[in-house]
Amino acid sequence: MSKRQTYSSLPVDETAAMSEADEAQLLAAALEFNEVALSELYDRYEAKIYHYIYRRCGEQALAEDLTAQVFLKMLESIRDGKSWHSSFSGWLYRIAHNLVIDQYRRRDRQPSVNIDDAPPTASDLEDPVETAQMNIDAERLRAAIGRLTDEQSEVVSLRFLEGYSIAEVAAMVGRSEGAIKALQYRAVAALRSLLYDEMR
C-alpha cells in the first residue's frame, strides 16, 4: 500500500495516528486534500510562520491576519497544482515572506511607533523609557530590513530572527550555501549602512 493510499483512506478524526506521520507522508496526503494531513501541517507550522511574520511586522493582529493568509494561499496552491517543488517549509516561508514584502510596499516606509498601539507595560517591572526605546529600535530594524532586497531580507530573517543555520536556509530557498553566505554578508553590510545613515 502506498503512502498516499494509507492517508487517503484515513478518517478525518484519526489525528493521533497522523501526528506521528513523517513529513513525506503528510505532504503526500496533503496533496490529495486529506483534511487530517492538512490540519497536522497547520499545527506543525502555524506558530513558526506566525513568529516569523510577527518579527518582521511587529504587530500581533497583522501577524495573525498574514499567517491566516499564508495557509489560505497554501490551500489555493495545492488546489491549483502549484505547490512546493522541493522544500515544503521553504515554500511556506516564501509565501510568508512575499506577504510581508507586499505589506511593506503598501505601508508608509517612515519608521514610527504609535504610542496608542504599544502594548501596556507594568511600570513597577519595566522602565517605560527603556521599553519605548526598545520598541523604537525594533521598528527601525524592521524598517531597515524592509529596505533590503527581497532575497537579502529573507535570508536575514531566516538566519537571525528564526535561527536557522546557513545549510537549513540554503535548503529552504533552494540556493547553495555559498550563495546564502554572500547574501547574508551583503545584507548585514546594507543593514549597517542603513542604520548608521539613519542615526546621523
pLDDT tens column, 123-158: 445 677 777 767 677 778 777 887 888 888 888 888
What residue ranges of the chain are covered by domains with CATH 1.10.1740.10? 12-107
pLDDT category, 68, cuts 50, 70, 90? very high
Q: Which of 48, 57, 187, 184 is nearest to 117 (CA)?
A: 57
| Structure confidence at residue 124 (pLDDT) | 47
pLDDT category, 46, cuts 50, 70, 90? very high
Topology at the third CATH level for domain 124-200: Arc Repressor Mutant, subunit A (1.10.10)
pLDDT category, 115, cuts 50, 70, 90? low
Between 178 and 136, the more confident residue is 178
pLDDT category, 108, cuts 50, 70, 90? low
pLDDT category, 49, cuts 50, 70, 90? very high
Q: Which residues contact 47 (CB under 8 A, 6 or more apart)?
A: none
Mean pLDDT lowest for which of 101-105, 149-153, 177-181? 101-105
Give 12-107's CATH code, choosing from 1.20.1530.20, 1.20.1510.10, 3.80.10.10, 1.10.1740.10. 1.10.1740.10
Per DSSP (E only), the strands in the chain are none
Query: Is pLDDT above 90 for 50?
Result: yes
Between 6 and 62, the more confident residue is 62
| Average of per-residue pLDDT values in the chain | 77
Percent of the chain exceeding pLDDT 90 equals 8
What residue ranges of the chain are covered by domains with CATH 1.10.10.10? 124-200
Q: Is the dihedral of CA 165, 66, 191, 126 positive or negative?
A: negative
Name the CA radius of gyration of the chain, rounded. Answer: 20
Task: Indicate the residue type of 192.
Answer: R
